[in-house]
Chains A and B, each alone.
Chain A
Amino acid sequence: MSVSSGATPLLEVRDLAKHYPVQGSWWRSPSQFIRAVDGVSFTLHAGETLALVGESGCGKTTTGRAILRLIEPTRGSVRFDGQDLLALDREPLRRLRRHMQIVFQDPFGSLNPRLTIGAAIREGLLVHELAQGAEADRRVAQLLEEVGLRAEHASRYPHEFSGGQRQRVGIARALAVAPKFIVCDEPVSALDVSVQAQVVNLLRDLQRDRGLAYLFIAHDLAVVSHMADRVAVMYLGRIVELAPRAALFAEPRMPYTQALLSAVPVPKPGRAPRRIVLAGDPPSPANPPSGCVFHPRCQHPAKDARCTRDVPVLAEKSPGHWVACHHVDVTTPLPPPLAPA
């Protein structure tokens, strides 16, 4: 779980980056890039959940997809189960995919409209030769029920389902092949809280029973606080804080994390939270601010010239609690390509 735990991590991501070229036009030089992900490093152990939170557009989905090589990273390295993913050819990569699944953020866009959802779930079972015929049917029915749908839903098409029902099909599809690692990109955002609770409990049961590891991307911080062992906060393509769950929620150190936590709506009428309202626009990843990427919107009382000039390194402030901010007393700074475990 931390640097000192010793065991080899299931997943080790180092200095991962994905830059998209900005479309060249006469008024803008084609050499500009959107730095969607810009040097992300972390590790993940079997049976562990690392949550990835942060502003919309900060690069969470891109990180998840680049790890699985659904998009090709611009730089960095990804080791999964001892193998260098970025060096693998297509065929071995395809075989390894069985162990690394993703639940997509956009459940509609990720389902083939011409396949029944039963066929969509069965696909993985067949491709990876895990079950066929009646056995596959049985697995599909069981998976549908596990995610709170009905076995007879298998013969229906994606357009016949509501948003939350499709999201559960996506989860069933990822679980079908019994993977070791799942990138869950907003897996429960479209679900009402009772179905959400059911899915969250299911994911945690599977984790306990099978040692599944999750990279859990979510905007709902209450759900994150239930799922995560550790939480990584991203801002503009970088991790700006990473800490064990309890520490992050009890004692957020980075000013952005503090603002994020203060914005969570409280399910009690007439008790609007005291929000730290972020001033100014979210910056553009095509033109990130100098120094600390958060400085234009930061309300830290000690903010100074260093913040606008020097990039703060992600450093371990207390055991397992990493923060990128000049004004948190830093004990052990570390070079950018090496990162917290």
Chain B
Amino acid sequence: MTRHLLTVHDLRVAFATEAGPARAVDGVSFTMNAGETVGLVGESGCGKSLTALSLLRLVPDGGRIAPGSRITFEEQDVLAMPERTLRALRGHRLSMIFQEPMTALNPVLTVGDQVAEVVRVHTTASAGEAWTRAVDMLAQVGIPDPAARARQYPHELSGGMRQRVMIAMALILEPALVIADEPTTALDVTIQAQILELLRDLRDRTGMALLLITHDLGVVAEMASRVLVMYAGEVVEEAPVALLFDAPGHPYTEGLLAAVPTLDSTRERLHTIPGTVPAATAWPAGCRFRDRCAHAWERCTTEPPALAQLGPAHRVRCHLVQEPERRRA
């Protein structure tokens, strides 16, 4: 049996709300190997960022990782380790590019200091060395005039430049696993291509694994070898990337792919999935997608579908796996 770099088992995160506990992440399991790039996609609010934050034990206030959840990284039990061990891990072996750079950057420190700080905390480098490495890394993520930019504060940079500062902080120590939450959505496509190239290069050179959360299915197609699709706190599909695009198994994934706008599309209305996600405080009894699903039948109302094997590496949480004849054209 090969040892996985990361194993997530039955991860559950809930928030106490006025309407009762909101089960925002509700039994997520997956594994990742060294050097692998896994795409994580899904409806806005389905629990992708919370899943990512849980891997670093950074769940926001009010949220709680339920007992029984297990996260193993490099054979260490992340949820049980002391805070000190965890801090040594974060930013070093396991790092994260956050979705909202403005909230993750310190407004009163120059961006160069913040990148250099990562080096100072985790290595024995001198202040001067750390600064040099920081400027070098800012150049690698495509920041023009990096020596001058390093002396600026976050509010003086454009949205995309802040994002690249975050990317520089996450990559500077060449971690074993990078969790990237929408790393390139704030960037124009030419810089995006450059960042993706940098991530690919690091992956090939250092064997870094990448958990890539993104709404951009073009980026997924280009970067990931395997894709996890989440909906309403659960993984609803897991497939090798080519299979996911060619033969999606879950009706939600189908709807998602149909909604992708393309450059050559005319200006007709974009395809949407009717309805909205149910509330996390009251997940419906059967399939969580059924109110929006074109194929739903009685079984979908009463019985929650399990993540079932559709092919060798293809798993789908839908009753259609057992009853494919129910699929409507």
Contacts and interface: CB of A to CB of B under 8 A. Distances in A.
Interface of A: 20, 22-23, 28, 53-58, 61, 105-106, 108-109, 145, 148-150, 152, 155-156, 159-165, 168, 186, 189-198, 200-201, 204, 219-223, 225-226, 249, 259-261, 263-272, 275, 277-278, 281-284, 286-287
Contacts, number: 205
Nearest to B218: A265
Contact of A260 (B48, B190, B196): B190
B54 interface: no
Interface string B235-250: 0000001100100000
A223 B26 CA distance: 32
Contacts of B7: none
Nearest to A281: B144
Contact of B145 (A55, A150, A259, A286): A286
A193 B259 contact: yes
A282 B191 CA distance: 9
Contact of A165 (B17, B41, B45, B182): B45
Contact of B241 (A145, A165, A269): A269
A192 B260 contact: no
Given A61-B158, A200-B270, A269-B245, 14 more contacts: A55-B188, A56-B160, A56-B163, A56-B188, A57-B160, A58-B188, A105-B159, A106-B159, A108-B103, A201-B272, A222-B265, A260-B190, A265-B196, A278-B190
Contacts of B293: none
A228 to B, nearest CB: 9
A162 B262 CA distance: 26
Contacts of A106: 100, 102, 159
A266 B99 contact: no
Contact of B99 (A163, A168, A286): A163
A223 B260 CA distance: 9
Contacts of A22: 148
A152 B280 CA distance: 12
Interface size class of B (residues with CB under 8 A): 35 or more
A226 B265 contact: yes
A192 B191 contact: no
A56 B191 contact: yes
Interface of B: 15, 17-19, 41-45, 48-49, 60, 62, 99-100, 102-103, 139, 142, 144-145, 148, 151-152, 156-161, 163-164, 182, 185-193, 196, 215-222, 241-242, 245, 255-257, 259-265, 267, 269-273, 276, 279
A86 B257 CA distance: 45
A238 to B, nearest CB: 15
Contact of A148 (B18, B99, B100, B276): B276
The 5 closest A-B pairs by CB, nearest first: A56-B160, A164-B44, A265-B218, A197-B270, A284-B145
A193 B260 contact: yes
Nearest to B227: A269
Contacts of A201: 269-270, 272
24 contacts: A55-B188, A56-B158, A56-B160, A57-B157, A57-B158, A58-B188, A163-B99, A163-B182, A192-B44, A193-B256, A194-B256, A196-B270, A197-B271, A201-B269, A220-B216, A222-B263, A222-B265, A260-B190, A261-B263, A265-B221, A267-B220, A270-B221, A272-B222, A281-B144
A226 B188 contact: no
